[in-house]
Amino acid sequence: MRVTVKLFARLRDIAGAPELARDVTPGSTIGSVWRSLAQEFPELGPYERSISSAVNADYAKMDYVLSDGDEVAFLPPVSGG
Amino acid sequence: MDPLAIGPEPLNLPGVVSTVAGDGRDGAVVTFLGLVRNHNAGRSVRYLEYEAYEPLALKAFARIADEIRERWPSARLALHHRVGRLEIGEASIAIAARSPHRGDAYAACRYAIERVKQIAPIWKREFFEGGDVWVEGATADPDDLRARAEAERVACA
């Protein structure tokens, strides 16, 4: 199945794209998508403990199980205001 | 105009205030404008660029408005955040909190800006003399009750 990965701020800079399409196996979680991205882009690794994640524009935890077509977002620490 | 919004247009504080129009019961509106500062962490700032995950940012704003209704039931909130390039002195956020008495309006307004800094998926990139850097603050976790309690403590101090 296929998911869309959205990346913001410095995470987007590291990956060089705001959005990536990734084929994942059924049962994949947000965490498993993150780990494979971090292998692909090692500079993402240090963000493991400080990122937040969302699915279809709602906050979701790393153990959330994804469905085909989901939009997964990885968010570095925020700095709005 | 919606009470909660995010976008590239310059902020209009009177417009934001008008979205929390009262029915005569309210005696106070407290507003907050966050401005782009020309200095940060010892650096001379040239300008900022804000980006956001806009659909989730709007949900975060709605969540903050709900939290305010829970804590200060008579208060109402309007909150607009700007994205894109902002020059020194321009407003990045406009908040209006309205309630029957000033105490709740002040507290709700302060609570809103503290919570935006904790849970809104918005980032600022600072362009300063000699380089640029993404500013990274809090790990956003809307279910973190300690963060919420801290925002409430600051709001009521």
User: Do the domain assignments include residue A70?
Assistant: yes
Structural domain contains residue A29: yes
Q: Give the number of beta-carbon pairs within 8 Å between A and B.
A: 90
User: pLDDT (tens digit, 0 to 9) for every residue of chain A, 81 residues total?
Assistant: 999 999 999 999 999 999 999 999 999 999 999 999 999 999 999 999 999 999 999 999 999 999 999 999 999 999 999
Specify whether the CB–CB gap between B11 and B91 falls below 8 A: yes
| Domains along chain B with CATH numbers | 4-155 (3.90.1170.40)
Which residues from A are below 8 Å from B123, CB to CB? 8-9, 76, 78-80
Within 8 A of B140 by CB-CB distance, chain A residues are: 52, 59, 75, 77-78
Range of the domain at A12: 2-75
A81 inside domain: no
Number of H helices, E strands in chain A: 2, 5
Q: Give the count of domains, chain A.
A: 1
CA–CA–CA angle B47, B49, B50 (5° rounding): 135
Q: Is the pLDDT of residue B26 over 90?
A: yes
Taking the Cβ of residue B32 and every Cβ of chain A, the question of whether any pair is shorter than 8 Å is answered with: no
* Residue B21 pLDDT grade (very low, low, confident, very high; cuts 50, 70, 90): confident
**ipTM of this model?**
0.96
Label the pairing between strands A2-7 and A71-75.
Answer: parallel
Contact A79 B124 (CB under 8 A): yes
A contacts of B117 (beta carbons < 8 Å): 78-81
Residue among A50, A58, A80 minimizing CB distance to B81: A80
What is the structure's pLDDT at B22?
80
The candidate with the shortest Cα–Cα distance to A33, out of A64, A76, A78, A12, is A64
Chain A residues with CB under 8 Å of B84 CB are none
Q: Quick one: pLDDT band at residue B23, thresholds 50, 70, 90?
A: confident
Give domain status of residue A80, yes or no: no
How would you classify residue B84: left for phi > 0, otherwise alpha for psi between -120 and 50, otherwise beta?
Answer: left
